[in-house]
Amino acid sequence: MTMVDITGKPEVIREATATGTIKLKAETMRLIKEGKVAKGDPLYTAKIAGVLAAKKTSTLIPFCHQLPLTSVKVEVEVLDHSTVQVTSTVRTKAQTGVEMEALVAATISLLTIWDMAKQYEKDAEGQYPSTVIQNIHVVKKVKENIQREISSERKHEKTQDYSS
Amino acid sequence: MTMVDITGKPEVIREATATGTIKLKAETMRLIKEGKVAKGDPLYTAKIAGVLAAKKTSTLIPFCHQLPLTSVKVEVEVLDHSTVQVTSTVRTKAQTGVEMEALVAATISLLTIWDMAKQYEKDAEGQYPSTVIQNIHVVKKVKENIQREISSERKHEKTQDYSS
Amino acid sequence: MTMVDITGKPEVIREATATGTIKLKAETMRLIKEGKVAKGDPLYTAKIAGVLAAKKTSTLIPFCHQLPLTSVKVEVEVLDHSTVQVTSTVRTKAQTGVEMEALVAATISLLTIWDMAKQYEKDAEGQYPSTVIQNIHVVKKVKENIQREISSERKHEKTQDYSS
Amino acid sequence: MTMVDITGKPEVIREATATGTIKLKAETMRLIKEGKVAKGDPLYTAKIAGVLAAKKTSTLIPFCHQLPLTSVKVEVEVLDHSTVQVTSTVRTKAQTGVEMEALVAATISLLTIWDMAKQYEKDAEGQYPSTVIQNIHVVKKVKENIQREISSERKHEKTQDYSS
Amino acid sequence: MTMVDITGKPEVIREATATGTIKLKAETMRLIKEGKVAKGDPLYTAKIAGVLAAKKTSTLIPFCHQLPLTSVKVEVEVLDHSTVQVTSTVRTKAQTGVEMEALVAATISLLTIWDMAKQYEKDAEGQYPSTVIQNIHVVKKVKENIQREISSERKHEKTQDYSS
Amino acid sequence: MTMVDITGKPEVIREATATGTIKLKAETMRLIKEGKVAKGDPLYTAKIAGVLAAKKTSTLIPFCHQLPLTSVKVEVEVLDHSTVQVTSTVRTKAQTGVEMEALVAATISLLTIWDMAKQYEKDAEGQYPSTVIQNIHVVKKVKENIQREISSERKHEKTQDYSS
C-alpha cells in the first residue's frame, strides 16, 4: 500500500479537464434561470465550491499528492430544460497529473448545485425521486514535454504563453 | 444568499442513504478482486475516504450546516465484471437532514476507487476512454419524529434502539 | 493557559452580529457595480467565503470552541463611491457565544473582496496606496434565556420562530 | 468496516486525560528554561498546538466521531534535566468518550516541542541520536451518569459545577 | 469567474508585509503587560495563530493559489495604552504574490488577541462598546527579479542570502 | 518567535524515516491477525491515516513549512505477541527536511491502531491499564546534494532513479 513515489520525475506543465451533469426538475431549472433560488445562485456558488475543492484534493483522496495548482476553471452550463453540466479544467507544473483535482472540482460543484436546489427537488415525502448526477468522466489529460518545448522555442523564437 | 436558519428546529434522528457506481475495465476489476492493485486495496481505501469526507461536508458544500454525525457507513460492492457500487448511510440527531453528507461520502469513495485504479484505466495516450462515474442519487431519507416516538414509547414500554 | 471550560453551562440560543468596511478606488467600485471585475463577482464571492470561514473559526482562533452554527448570514452593501460594508450575523444553540464566528465571517469576507479587486487597486509599483479595511467590530450580542422563553411561551401561547 | 453507531446513546459528560514524555538533551533543556530557543517558547507553543489538534481529531483518526469539546487543557511540565511531560485533559457532553482527543492533543504537543527544539537535538550528521517520545497512555477516563447525578442533586440540593 | 492562470509565470522570490491594529481598554492592556490574562498570553498566541492562518490562505480566500511559504513572521507590538499593532511579513518563491497571506496572518492574529482578551472587553450587558480592529493594509510588496539577480551575482560574485 | 526563513535555500531531495510502537493485549493482537476487529482492519486503516496526516503536518505543527511530499510510505509490522511497529518514510524535493512529516505519519498511524482496537483494550472500568505508545524516534534523515549528484551523473552516465 503506497502513495506513488514521484521524487525523481521532472516537473512538467500538466492539464486535465473533467465533466459531469446533474438532472434537475424543469421547475427548478426555471427558478435557477430566473435567479429565484432562495439560497442564492446555484451556478456561481458551484463554481466557487469547485475551485476550493480542487485545492483540497490531497486531503480528500488518500494517495493524491499535494500539487500547487496554477489554474482552476469551473464552467457551469445549462444544457437543456433539465440538465446542468459542470466542466472543470485544472493546471499545474508538477511531477504528476491533475485529473483527480479536475474530477473533485466537477463533483463538488455538482453536489453544491444539488444542495442549493434541494428544497425544490424534494417530493412531499422529502425524497429525491428524480435528482441524479451522471456521467462524471475525464475529457482530456495533457502533459507538456518541457524539454521539447524549450528546444522548439529556441528554433522558432516563440514562447507558449499560459499566463492570463 | 444564505445558509438556511435552523435555530428553532427540533433535534430529531435523521438518516440518509446515497449511492453511485463506477465503471472500470474488466482487467482492472480482476486485479481488484485478486488483491493485486499496486497502490493498495481500492475498496477498503474508498470506504475510509468516504467516512472522512462525510465529516468534512460543511467545509466542502458552502451552505451545509456542521452536523455531528453519529454514524457513517460506506459499503462497496462489485456489481458485475465492470461495475463497482458504493452505498453510504449517514445518521445524526440534528436540526436538518444528512443527504448531502451521504452524497459526499459516496462520491469521494467513488473518486478514491478511480484514483487507486487509474494506472490500469489509462490508455496508451494517458486518457480514460471508458472510466465513468454514474447514477449518484439519494436512495432514501428518514426523519424520526421524536415527539411521536416518546408518546409511543410510553404506551408500549418499548424503546427503539439505534446503538450498535 | 486554557480554553475556557464550558461543560456545565446550559445550551441557549445565541446570536452575534459583526461588521467592517473596505475602502476601494472609485474606479474599482464602478467595475464592481457594473459586474466587470475579471475574477468574478466580489460581493457574492465574499458572502460565500464568509459563510465558509465562520464554520472554520475554531480551527483558526486557538481557544474558540467548536460550535454548531445554525445560521450564518453575510450581507455586503455598497456604502458610497469608495466603501463596501460587510455585516455578518451568526446563530447557534450552544454553551458560549458566537461573536468570534461573526468577526471571522466579516473579516474573511472583506479580505475576499480585496483579493477579487486587487488587480485594480495596485499602483504602477504593485503597491496598495489606498486600499484599507476599517472598523471591524461587534454590533450586538444576544443570548436568549431558554427557561424564561418557555415560561413566557406558556403564558402567551406564542412561539418565537427562528426557522426559515 | 465502520464508524460505531452512537445515534441512540445518551449525551453524558465525559472526560479523558492522556500523557506522554519527550527526552531532550540537557543543553536543549537549559535553553528552554532560559527562554533562549530561537524559534520561540516550545512549551507554550506546544500547548496551543495541542488544543488545536484535539479539535481536529475526527479529521485525523478515520473512525472518530465529531465531538464538540467543551474543555481542552494541555499542561507541560519539566520533569528532570532531560524530560518534558505533556498532560492533556479533554471534556465534552456527548455520546462517546474523548480519550482519542486527549491522546491526539498530548501527541501533537510533544511533536511540537520536538519541532521547536530540533536544531539543538540534531548531531553533526543531522541525525537525532537521543530524541525520543515515550510512554503515551491514557491516565484516566471518566463518564458521568447524568441520570444518577440529577437524582443525587435533588437529594442533596447541591449541583456539581463544571463551568469555569 | 476564475482563479488567475499563473502556469506560465516564472517563480520569483516574493515578499509582502501587512499590518493592522486592535484597540483595547486600558485595563485590558495592563493585564496583558502584566501577564495576567486568564486564557494565556494574547500576544504570543496571536503570533502562532497568524503563522498557522497564513498557511491556510488558499482554503479561506476562494481564488488564492496554494503557495509554499518559505517564511512567515508575525510581530506584535504594544503601541500605546490602548493599541496593539500586528505586522506580518510573508515570503515565498512562487509565480504570484503573497499579500493575501500577509493580510490573513495579520487579521487572524488581531482576532486572536480579541478572543484572548474578550472577557475584559465586554461590558455588563455582554457587549463590546470600545473594542475595534482598524487600519488593515499592505505596507509593502516586493518581487525579486531572479534573472537580474543571477546576472548581478555573476558580476559581483556575491549571493543575496535569504536563509536564516 | 518565528518560522525559519528558508527562502534562499536550494531545493534538494530529502528523506526521513520515523518509527514507534504500540503495545496491545495478546487477545487484541490475535483479533487483528485473524481479521476479526469489528471496526475494520487496524493495520490498513493506520497506513491510510498516516499518509493523510503526513500531508497535514504544516497545519498541525505551527512552524512547519508546507512541503510538497513526493512520497509517503507507512509500514505496519507485528513485532511480537503484544507489539505493533509503525515505520514511515517521507520524501520531498524542498528547502528543508521532512522528519516532522515522518513523525506525524508514524504517530497518527499508531493512534489510529489504538482507536480501531480500543474496545478490546479497555478493562471493566473503561480504563486502558496496559495500552501504551512507545519509542517514537527518527531512524534516519537523508539529504541529497543535487549539485554533487549532477556532477557525478555526468561522470558516470548513470542517473539515480527515485520514481516508482
Closest CA to E16 of E86, E101, E77: E101
Q: Which residues of D are identified as catalytic?
A: 115
Chain F: residue whose CA lies nearest to A10 = F163
Contact residues on chain B for D56, CB-CB shorter than 8 A: none
User: What pLDDT shows up at residue B150?
Assistant: 44
Alpha-carbon distance B48 to nearest alpha carbon in chain F (angstroms) = 7
C48–B67: do the CB atoms touch at under 8 Å?
no
Mean predicted lDDT score pLDDT of chain D: 90
The three three-digit cell numbers of residue D128, written as one number: 537525532
Alpha-carbon distance A92 to nearest alpha carbon in chain E (angstroms) = 6
Neighbours of chain F (3+ CB pairs under 8 A): A, B, D, E
Residues 134-153 of A with CB under 8 A from B: 134-138, 140-141, 143
Average pLDDT over residues B34-54: 97
**CB-closest option in F118, F127, F141 to D127:** F141
Q: Which residues of F are identified as catalytic?
A: 115
Average pLDDT over residues D137-156: 67
Average pLDDT over residues D134-140: 98
Contact residues on chain A for C44, CB-CB shorter than 8 A: 40-41, 44
* Strand-pair category, A69-80 with D132-143: unpaired
Task: Determine contact: D87 vs chain E, CB below 8 A.
Answer: no
Give the separation between CA D154 and CA A18, rounded to whole angstroms.
Answer: 63
* pLDDT of A155 strictly over 70: no
Chain B: residue whose CA lies nearest to C164 = B5
Residue to mutate among E48, E109, E112, with most D CBs inside 10 A, is: E48
User: What pLDDT shows up at residue F67?
Assistant: 97
Strands (E), A81-152: 83-94, 132-143
Task: State the pLDDT confidence band at D70, using cuts at 50, 70 and 90.
Answer: very high
C162–B62: do the CB atoms touch at under 8 Å?
no
Task: Determine contact: A57 vs chain F, CB below 8 A.
Answer: no
User: What pLDDT shows up at residue B159?
Assistant: 35
Q: How far is CA C64 from CA B84, C137, D162, E109, F52, in A?
A: 42, 18, 18, 13, 25
Task: Determine contact: F35 vs chain E, CB below 8 A.
Answer: no
User: What pLDDT shows up at residue E2?
Assistant: 80
Contact residues on chain F for B48, CB-CB shorter than 8 A: 45, 48-49
Contact residues on chain F for A12, CB-CB shorter than 8 A: none
Contact residues on chain D for F141, CB-CB shorter than 8 A: 126-128
**Fold assignment, F12-151:** Alpha-Beta Plaits (3.30.70)
**CB-closest option in F51, F66, F163 to A3:** F51
User: What pLDDT shows up at residue D164?
Assistant: 29
C17, amino acid identity: T
Neighbours of chain B (3+ CB pairs under 8 A): A, C, D, F
User: What pLDDT shows up at residue C136?
Assistant: 98
In CATH, which superfamily holds the domain spanning E12-149? Molybdopterin cofactor biosynthesis C (MoaC) domain (3.30.70.640)
D55–C66: do the CB atoms touch at under 8 Å?
yes
Task: State the pLDDT confidence band at C63, using cuts at 50, 70 and 90.
Answer: very high
What phi, psi does E150 have (nearest 5°)? -60, -45
Name the residue with cell 467565503: C49
| Domain boundary assignment for chain B | 12-156
CATH class of residue range C12-154: alpha beta
Task: Determine contact: D45 vs chain F, CB below 8 A.
Answer: yes
Average pLDDT over residues F8-37: 97
Give the separation between CA E85 and CA E75, rounded to whole angstroms.
Answer: 8
Alpha-carbon distance C25 to nearest alpha carbon in chain E (angstroms) = 14
* pLDDT of C95 strictly over 70: yes
Mean predicted lDDT score pLDDT of chain C: 90
C45–A48: do the CB atoms touch at under 8 Å?
yes
Closest CA to D42 of D89, D129, D110, D102: D110
Task: Determine contact: A118 vs chain E, CB below 8 A.
Answer: no
Average pLDDT over residues B83-105: 97
E62–C49: do the CB atoms touch at under 8 Å?
yes
DSSP C72-106: EEEEEEEEETTEEEEEEEEEEEESS--HHHHHHHH
User: What pLDDT shows up at residue B149?
Assistant: 46
From the candidates C5, C41, C80, C115, give the one annotated as an active-site residue: C115
Give the separation between CA C92 and CA C97, rounded to whole angstroms.
Answer: 8
E70–F65: do the CB atoms touch at under 8 Å?
yes
User: What pLDDT shows up at residue B20?
Assistant: 98
Alpha-carbon distance F46 to nearest alpha carbon in chain E (angstroms) = 26
Alpha-carbon distance A5 to nearest alpha carbon in chain F (angstroms) = 4
Q: Which residues of E are identified as catalytic?
A: 115
Residue to mutate among F58, F86, F164, with most A CBs inside 10 A, is: F164
Give the separation between CA A115 and CA A48, rounded to whole angstroms.
Answer: 14
Give the separation between CA F70 and CA E102, rounded to whole angstroms.
Answer: 27
* pLDDT of D149 strictly over 60: no
State the DSSP code for D29.
Answer: H
Contact residues on chain F for E92, CB-CB shorter than 8 A: 7
User: What pLDDT shows up at residue A163?
Assistant: 31
Average pLDDT over residues C138-145: 92
A52–E59: do the CB atoms touch at under 8 Å?
yes
Mean predicted lDDT score pLDDT of chain E: 90
Task: State the pLDDT confidence band at D159, using cuts at 50, 70 and 90.
Answer: very low
Give the three-state DSSP class for A8.
coil
Would the pTM count as exceeding 0.90?
A: yes
Task: Determine contact: E48 vs chain D, CB below 8 A.
Answer: yes
What percentage of chain F reaches a pLDDT higher than 70?
Answer: 87
Contact residues on chain C for E32, CB-CB shorter than 8 A: none
ipTM of the complex: 0.90
Residue to mutate among D71, D87, D144, D160, with most C CBs inside 10 A, is: D71
Average pLDDT over residues E102-128: 98
Average pLDDT over residues D97-122: 98
Closest CA to F89 of F72, F77, F111: F72
User: What pLDDT shows up at residue B60?
Assistant: 98
Q: Which residues of A are identified as catalytic?
A: 115
User: What pLDDT shows up at residue D146?
Assistant: 54
The Cβ of residue A47 has, within 10 Å, a number of other Cβ atoms equal to: 27
The Cβ of residue C35 has, within 10 Å, a number of other Cβ atoms equal to: 8
Chain B: residue whose CA lies nearest to D10 = B163
D163–C5: do the CB atoms touch at under 8 Å?
yes
Give the separation between CA D123 and CA C51, rounded to whole angstroms.
Answer: 48
State the DSSP code for B154.
Answer: H
The three three-digit cell numbers of residue D94, written as one number: 456527548
* pLDDT of C162 strictly over 80: no
**Fold assignment, B12-156:** Alpha-Beta Plaits (3.30.70)
DSSP chain C: ------TTSPPEEEEEEEEEEEE--HHHHHHHHTT--TT--HHHHHHHHHHHHHHTHHHHSTT-----EEEEEEEEEEEETTEEEEEEEEEEEESS--HHHHHHHHHHHHHHHHHHHHHHH--TTS--SS-EEEEEEEEEEEE--HHHHHHHHHHHT-------
Task: Determine contact: F3 vs chain E, CB below 8 A.
Answer: yes
Chain B: residue whose CA lies nearest to C160 = B8
Average pLDDT over residues D31-54: 97
Average pLDDT over residues E36-49: 97
Contact residues on chain E for D41, CB-CB shorter than 8 A: 44
Task: Determine contact: E93 vs chain F, CB below 8 A.
Answer: yes
Mean predicted lDDT score pLDDT of chain B: 90
C126–E138: do the CB atoms touch at under 8 Å?
no
The three three-digit cell numbers of residue B24, written as one number: 472500470
User: What pLDDT shows up at residue F144?
Assistant: 87
A137–B116: do the CB atoms touch at under 8 Å?
no
